[in-house]
Amino acid sequence: MPEAKTRMRRLLVVDDQADWRRTIKDIARPLGWIVAEAANGRELKRCFDAIDPDFILLDMVMPEVDGFESLKWLAERSARARIAVMTGYAPHLAESAALVGNGLGASVVATLQKPVPIGRLRKLLETC
């Protein structure tokens, strides 16, 4: 009997800081993730269907389309992807975003305070 093909896990990193996106990609790829990037929520909207992510790391404060608007858009699409929201601002911003996102129907499973310790990010990517 042929073996069932397993789809590789897909990660979408949405953050306006290119260096941070690169760092996440460098951590995620050795863990078996296919990684795609978007610099803001507008890019997320353009590439979402093609990527079909399993997990999204979403910065909350970005130019053009921010994380809150992106969470609303993801919830309206009934996106199946689990989401971790990130911010370099006050910790309550990520916590509030998680509450709002989950209230809208998105699946926010983690909050991250930037700068995110590499060990915490690695553990999240290993377990999600």
Give a yes or no: residue 4 inside a domain.
Answer: no
Give a yes or no: residue 122 inside a domain.
Answer: yes
Give a yes or no: residue 14 inside a domain.
Answer: yes
Q: What is the pLDDT of residues 17-32, one digit of tens each?
A: 999 999 999 999 999 9
Partners of 37 in the β-ladder: 13
pLDDT at 4 over 60: no
pTM above 0.75, yes or no: yes
- Please state the rounded mean pLDDT for residues 49-62: 96
Burial group, residue 128, by CB count within 10 angstroms (0-12, 13-18, 19+)? middle
Instruction: Provide the pairing of β-strand 33-38 with 82-87.
Output: unpaired
Give a yes or no: residue 92 inside a domain.
Answer: yes
Domain that holds residue 50: 9-127
pLDDT at 5 over 60: no
Give a yes or no: residue 80 inside a domain.
Answer: yes
1 Cβ contact partners less than 8 Å away, ≥ 6 residues apart: none
What pLDDT is stored for residue 52 in this prediction?
A: 96
Give a yes or no: residue 99 inside a domain.
Answer: yes
Give a yes or no: residue 1 inside a domain.
Answer: no
Residues of the chain above pLDDT 70, percent: 95
Q: How many domains does the chain have?
A: 1
Other residues' Cβ atoms within 10 Å of the Cβ of residue 23: 17
Give a yes or no: residue 59 inside a domain.
Answer: yes
Q: What is the pLDDT of residues 84-125, one digit of tens each?
A: 999 999 989 999 999 999 999 999 999 999 999 999 999 999
| Strand boundaries in 9-115, DSSP class E | 9-14, 33-38, 55-59, 82-87, 107-113
> Which CATH number covers residue 40?
3.40.50.2300
Q: How far is 32 from 68, CA to CA, in rounded Å? A: 28
